[in-house]
Amino acid sequence: MNKLLYLILTFALVWAVREPSMAGNPDRQGESGAGQLLLNAFPRSAGLHSMSTSMASGVESMRINIAGLSRINKTEVLLGHAIYLQGTDIGINALGVAQRVGEHGAFGISLTSISFGDIAVTTTDQPEGTGTNFSPSFFNLAFGYSHTFENKVSVGVLFRGISESIQDINSFGFGIDAGVQYVTGPQDNFKFGISLRNIGSRMQYGGQGLSTSGPAPNSGGYNLTYNQRSADFELPSTLDIGLSYDFLIGDIHRLTVLGNFTSNSFSQDQLGGGVEYSLKDMFMLRGGYRYDLGTETEVEAPIYTGLSAGASVTVPLSKENKNVRFSIDYAYRATKVWDGTHNIGIRFNI
């Protein structure tokens, strides 16, 4: 318990000295960049609106709470795809691998990319298009490690590289996540988690696309090419605090109730809860609701209505070892415009 208290105090101190004006400040809404870091391609956590801070495990913990990475049997491979705001032709693809290292630790790697489709190139002289297309390249690569102490307290840290570019403009930055999970109760059915995400370097765009030309002063009409500097921006830092409780009914039923609070550095804070039902850990149903605090008008309201739902089907691949499994996961999050966000993923556990 002392370890947990020390970790909680450490997280609170880091958040307090990070920047006094950042947490839940609506006046700074929209000022951050690298919004891709807030998108979730993994369906199990998406079905709970990414509020599984206290119970996330394996590969999905690299998106939610890195402390849960070590709560796997041996090896986990997860592929996720999201149709982001159906109708916009934006897709998110993610691949992650988690591998246990030693008796209490685990290492993971995750790659996420966003597909925007083909976008027409336009200029001031040809506003209808030049006849050519381009496609932005957004991706991030993460490496994480987690360690579990006496099967009660898990801590983890993750390093992430972030890249955003088109043909002639690019930006690159680094981010760090850290997390802690605490498990207790007669059957380890009470869980508590804290996750600090996207703390890192400021990013800035640069490249030939920012070059322009104009008449040089006192040159007699000669043009001079010079570079314009873009403003730098911060990462969308968040602090999540969550708890959950498992109601175990016999040996085959589990009903988990969870709550979660998210403090956003550049938008409204969020509060929500969810429920997950499991039958023999082979069939799961889940749903959640998340509310943005302080939203007063329709213009300020987030794109998501707050509702989410999902399901999972797991099939054992070995009669001798029940931990060898194959799973299919699905999630849906409702939106006030377009046709919602759909997630689907496949998971292999060894």
* Backbone region of residue 89 per phi and psi (left: phi > 0; alpha: psi in -120 to 50; beta: other values): left
pLDDT given at position 223: 79
Task: Specify if 19 maps to a domain.
Answer: no
Between 79 and 302, the higher pLDDT residue: 79
pLDDT given at position 231: 86
Task: Specify if 4 maps to a domain.
Answer: no
Between 223 and 272, the higher pLDDT residue: 272
pLDDT given at position 299: 67
pLDDT given at position 270: 93
Task: Specify if 31 maps to a domain.
Answer: no
Percent of the chain whose predicted confidence (pLDDT) is above 90: 63
Average pLDDT over residues 323-338: 94
Average pLDDT over residues 64-74: 94
Helix or strand (DSSP H, E) at 31: none
Sign of torsion, CA 10 15 18 21?
Answer: negative
pLDDT given at position 179: 93
Average pLDDT over residues 10-32: 56
Whole-angstrom distance, CA of residue 132 vs CA of residue 118: 9
Task: Specify if 278 maps to a domain.
Answer: yes
How many domains are there within the chain?
1
Arithmetic mean of pLDDT over the chain = 88
Task: Specify if 111 maps to a domain.
Answer: yes
pLDDT given at position 213: 77
Q: pTM (2 decimals)?
A: 0.88
Under the banding of pLDDT at 50, 70 and 90, the label for residue 22 is: very low
CB 9 within 8 A of CB 194: no
Whole-angstrom distance, CA of residue 279 vs CA of residue 19: 45
Domain interval for residue 269 = 49-211+235-349
Two structure tokens written together for 303: 């794109």
Under the banding of pLDDT at 50, 70 and 90, the label for residue 58 is: very high
pLDDT higher than threshold 70 for residue 14: no
pLDDT given at position 21: 40
Task: Specify if 217 maps to a domain.
Answer: no
pLDDT higher than threshold 60 for residue 24: no
Task: Specify if 174 maps to a domain.
Answer: yes
pLDDT higher than threshold 80 for residue 94: yes
pLDDT higher than threshold 70 for residue 260: yes
**Closest by CA position to 269, among listed 258, 278, 261:** 261
pLDDT given at position 173: 94
Domain of 307, CATH number, reads 2.40.160.60
| Alpha helix stretches (DSSP H) within 88-186 | none
Task: Specify if 227 maps to a domain.
Answer: no
Find the distance separating the first CA and the last CA of the chain, reported in whole Å. Answer: 31
pLDDT higher than threshold 90 for residue 13: no
Non-local CB neighbours of 12 within 8 Å, separated by 6+ positions: none
pLDDT given at position 221: 66
